[in-house]
Amino acid sequence: MTFPFPASDLLVILPELVLTQLALGILLWATVVRKGREATLAWVSIASLAAAAVLIPVAARLSGPLPRAAFGGMLTLDRFSIFFKVLVLLATAVTILFSLKFVGTSSYPGGEYYALLLFSAVGMLFMASGTHLVSIYIALELMALSQYVLAGYFKRETKSVEAAAKYFVLGAFSSGVLLYGISLVYGAAGSLDLGDVARSLAATPRSSLLGVGIVLTASGMLFKIASAPFHVWAPDVYEGAPTPISAFFSVGPKLAAYAIFARIFFVGFGPRAGDWAPVLAASAALTMVVGNVGALLQQNVKRMLGYSSIGHAGYALLGLLAYASGTDARGENFGLWAILIYLAAYLLMTLGAFGLVVLLEAKGYATESVDDFNGLSKKNPLAAAAMLVFLLSLAGIPPTAGFVGKYFLFSAAMKAGWPSLALLAVLMSAVSLFYYFRIARAMYLVEGEGELRWREEPAVAAAVAVCVAGTLLLGILPQPFVALAKSCLLP
């Protein structure tokens, strides 16, 4: 039997292969594990993710010098993809930690849950290294289909089902739009390989076919990162989905979506950057306003974090926008590494904040309302302090990761000649303090005696502690991260 590609290409996807096998194994194993014994499955899942993480450098070493294209240009392993792969694996592992008791004490089976998370992670890993519109699309669907199920995993909870239905219908619709956009791009460029698309775009004149194709592709991408005007699903899904899944949705898929967004638009549509940048600029402005103003009105913590993640998507779009304006006289381009740093910061602070939402149990369930945080500083000063760090970071107050990330993004926007957007962004980030600090106010300023219970979950607490440490470290000593991000850029 002959392969259309050299067998060594398989080494490039070694982590993905191993993770897929392990996920399938867990799915089979789940059929024989009784309810209540699923913690083992969770730990095995975490071990599988760790194995995949360990295999990434191995794959990079074995498969040859980076960047290494494989399968006829379908996938490319480069430092950019490795950066995202590590973050995605981290986000998935933390989500599983959050889920341990959350799913364990629920009446729903846990085995498939972990397997679905792993499949989703596989999809995201492929997204990170996809360099062909078809491979990107397939990876995206693998990730998304697992997530539709996860959103509705608590199937007897009306809200969870509602979230799943909304997510599925809108998600499927956006996938269709994306696919249609891809097909138009194919019509205009004659290829789906991003490198070929770029060469073809540079050579062909502007055409409405291509324009519609790029706009539709952008719409699909904007849906995945929950940017206006395609953001409407996010708060509802975040509110309805099981809390660990909300945490996962706000981080993992978004990171992966940013990876393909950046790759498609910089590598593939790069020659047309001047044309699509205004579209992204409009979306960024709208997203920042909608997300931050929308969050002002929320009483439900998960909804608020949902809207806040929309706002953050808007900030991150500034980085994409800045990248589009090319390098400056010193040969530096702030845009992309600003996004990389920002996304790392966003991962730490968002997961941390959600971790505390998982840990604080009010009315026998995870916290829902901002009032549930009342008086937390007295009952658990450490938890309150940790939450305060995340809130400060989310609002972009130094010395936290969020400030460093926002600083890079805003200066990238300034540098790229979008000072008005940067102004809007800083003003919106000041607005965001108001709603983030509603939680701080509840924790420290309000003398509440709510029935707040602290779930004794060392695993989650440890994950939160890691997030606190990361948030502060990235905020106080960002240099190593900056250097790392700078080495992980797209060509």
Partner 1 sequence: MNGLLTLLIFLPTAGAVALLFLPREKTGAIKLVATVTAGIAFVASLPLWFETGFRTSGDFLFRETLDWIPSLGVKYALGVDGIAALLILLTTLLSFICMYASYTAITKREKEYYVFLLLLETGMIGVFCALDFFLFYVFWEVMLVPMYFLIGVWGGPRKLYAAIKFFLYTLFGSVVMLLAIIALYFFNTTGFLWWKGLGNAPTFDIPHFHAIASQIPPDLQVWLFWAFFLGFAIKVPMFPFHTWLPDAHVEAPTAGSVILAGVLLKMGTYGFLRFSLPICPAASSTHWVQLSVVVLSIIGILYGSMVAMVQKDVKKLVAYSSVAHLGFVMLGFFALNTAGIQGGILQSINHGLSTGGLFLLVGIIYERRHTRMITDFGGISSVMPVYAMLFMVILLASIGLPLLNGFVGEFTILVGAFLANWRWAAFAVIGVVLGAAYMLWLYQRVFFGEVTHEENRTLQDVNLREILTLAPLIVFCVWIGVYPKPFFEMTAKSSDKLVVAVEQARLAREAGTVRMASTAGTPGTPATPATRADLAAPAAPAAAAVLPEGR
Which of 162, 441, 448, 455 binds partner 1 (CB under 8 A)? It is: 441
Q: How far is the CB of 479 from partner 1 (least distance, A)?
A: 5
- Residue 269 phi, psi (nearest 5): -95, 10
CA atoms of 445 and 463, how far apart (whole Å): 27
Which of 102, 238, 276, 444 binds partner 1 (CB under 8 A)? It is: 444
Which of 411, 455, 465, 466 binds partner 1 (CB under 8 A)? It is: 411
Site mask for partner 1 (CB under 8 A), range 289-318, x = bound: ------------------------------
Q: How far is the CB of 333 from partner 1 (least distance, A)?
A: 11
Structure tokens at 374: 């009342």
328 is a contact residue toward partner 1 (CB under 8 A):
yes
Nearer to partner 1, 363 or 378 (CB): 378
238 is a contact residue toward partner 1 (CB under 8 A):
no
449 is a contact residue toward partner 1 (CB under 8 A):
no
**DSSP H stretches of helix in 263-300:** 273-296
Please state at what angle helix 133-151 crosses helix 111-129, rounded to 10 degrees: 160
CA atoms of 350 and 422, how far apart (whole Å): 22
Which of 45, 292, 429, 471 binds partner 1 (CB under 8 A)? It is: 429
Q: Please say whether the beta carbons of 102 and 365 come within 8 A.
A: no
- Residue 8 phi, psi (nearest 5): -65, -20
- Give the β-pairing of 452-454 and 360-362: antiparallel
3-state secondary structure of 369: strand
Q: Which stretch binds partner 1 (CB under 8 A): 143-151, 292-300, 440-448, 459-467?
A: 440-448
Three-state SS sequence of 44-84 = HHHHHHHHHHHHHHHHHHHCCCCCEEECCCCEEECHHHHHH
Which of 186, 204, 407, 472 binds partner 1 (CB under 8 A)? It is: 407
Which of 71, 478, 488, 489 binds partner 1 (CB under 8 A)? It is: 478
Q: Which stretch binds partner 1 (CB under 8 A): 5-13, 160-168, 305-313, 478-486?
A: 478-486
Q: Which stretch binds partner 1 (CB under 8 A): 101-109, 254-262, 348-356, 441-449?
A: 441-449
Which of 329, 364, 449, 458 binds partner 1 (CB under 8 A)? It is: 329
326 is a contact residue toward partner 1 (CB under 8 A):
no
Q: Please say whether the beta carbons of 306 and 254 come within 8 A.
A: no
Nearest to 198 by CA among 137, 270, 262: 270
Amino acid at 302: K
Q: Please say whether the beta carbons of 56 and 15 come within 8 A.
A: yes
436 is a contact residue toward partner 1 (CB under 8 A):
no
Q: Which stretch binds partner 1 (CB under 8 A): 112-120, 165-173, 246-254, 392-400?
A: 392-400
**DSSP H stretches of helix in 297-418:** 301-324, 334-359, 376-379, 381-395, 401-415
Which of 35, 417, 453, 487 binds partner 1 (CB under 8 A)? It is: 417
Nearer to partner 1, 282 or 433 (CB): 433
Element (H, E) at 238: helix 233-240
469 is a contact residue toward partner 1 (CB under 8 A):
no
Which of 422, 439, 460, 461 binds partner 1 (CB under 8 A)? It is: 422
Nearer to partner 1, 10 or 446 (CB): 446
Query: Which residues neighbour 407 within 8 Å (Cβ) at sequence distance 6 or greater?
Result: none
For the chain, the residue count is 491
Interface with partner 1 by CB under 8 A: which residues?
A: 328-330, 377, 392, 397-399, 403, 407, 410-411, 414-415, 417, 419, 422-423, 426-427, 429-430, 433-434, 437, 440-441, 444-446, 478-479, 482-483, 486
